[in-house]
């Protein structure tokens, strides 16, 4: 499979990352670049997808970037890993739903290796975990398709500051919270990125 795996060790500014993805998307369509899975972190930033609403911003002082991805408003920053994609869906029957299923199942299977049970929800897209009597999101997914190339991706909370989400209504969902892996189970997640990549490549 001709997919490049790119891992950035230092945080990448959000707008620079998106510009890179969009420029490379055109090259992939022209057959001049490989498909891509890019793993990185962002500096502290809130981003709003195409379907967000102004009343989902609880603190009007936050730094917000409006994006062309799907979904609503979320936060990115230290302690959260981002997986960005540039995947040619013309090689995969132009099946957007299946691509999302591959992302969801890859995260779920990878976390299962740490004995952490999670699930996807078609109504509220993302990866969720039940803890006692509450359901909380641990990974947010936002995808856009242009020229049948799927890009943007997902964020997975590892040890990030959960307080950041109190300034917004995360993903526009009022009755469910957000958590991170360290709060669920205090383990070493050093190899989680590799596990997710392995599961993605099995199914893409």
171 given a catalytic annotation: yes
The per-residue pLDDT for 71 is 82
Helix pair 192-203, 96-112: axis angle to 10 deg: 140
Active-site residue, selected from the candidate residues 111, 141, 171, 204? 171
CATH code at position 81: 3.30.930.10
Give the residue numbers spanning the domain of 97.
3-203
44-102 pLDDT tens trace? 999 988 888 888 999 989 989 998 887 889 999 999 999 999 999 999 999 999 999 99
46-60 pLDDT tens trace? 998 888 888 899 998
Structure-block tokens of residue 144: 């856009």
Q: What value does the mean pLDDT of the chain take? A: 94
| Full-model pTM | 0.94
Nearest Cα neighbor of 167 from 62, 67, 97 is: 62
Question: Into how many domains does the chain fold?
Answer: 1
- For the chain, the helix, strand and coil percentages under 3-state DSSP, each to the nearest 5: 30, 30, 35
Q: Is the pLDDT of residue 1 over 80?
A: no
5-35 pLDDT tens trace? 999 999 999 999 999 999 999 999 999 999 9
């Amino acid at each position: 499979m001709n997919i490049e795996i790119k891992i950035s060790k230092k945080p990448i500014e959000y707008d620079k990352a998106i510009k890179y993805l969009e420029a490379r998307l055109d090259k992939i369509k022209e057959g001049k670049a490989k498909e891509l899975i890019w793993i990185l972190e962002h500096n502290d930033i809130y981003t709003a997808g195409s379907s967000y609403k102004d009343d989902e911003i609880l603190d009007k002082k936050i730094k917000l970037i409006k994006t062309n991805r799907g979904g609503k408003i979320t936060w990115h920053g230290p302690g959260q890993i981002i997986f960005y994609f540039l995947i040619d869906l013309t090689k995969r029957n132009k099946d957007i739903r299946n691509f999302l299923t591959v992302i969801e199942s890859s995260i779920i299977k990878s976390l299962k290796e740490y004995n952490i049970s999670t699930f996807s929800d078609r109504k509220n897209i993302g990866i969720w975990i039940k803890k006692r009597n509450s359901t909380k999101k641990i990974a947010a997914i936002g995808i856009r398709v242009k020229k049948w190339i799927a890009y943007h991706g997902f964020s997975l909370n590892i040890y990030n500051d959960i307080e950041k989400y109190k300034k917004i209504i995360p993903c526009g969902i009022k009755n469910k919270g957000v958590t991170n892996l360290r709060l669920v189970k205090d383990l070493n997640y050093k190899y989680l990125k590799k596990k997710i990549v392995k599961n993605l490549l099995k199914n893409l």
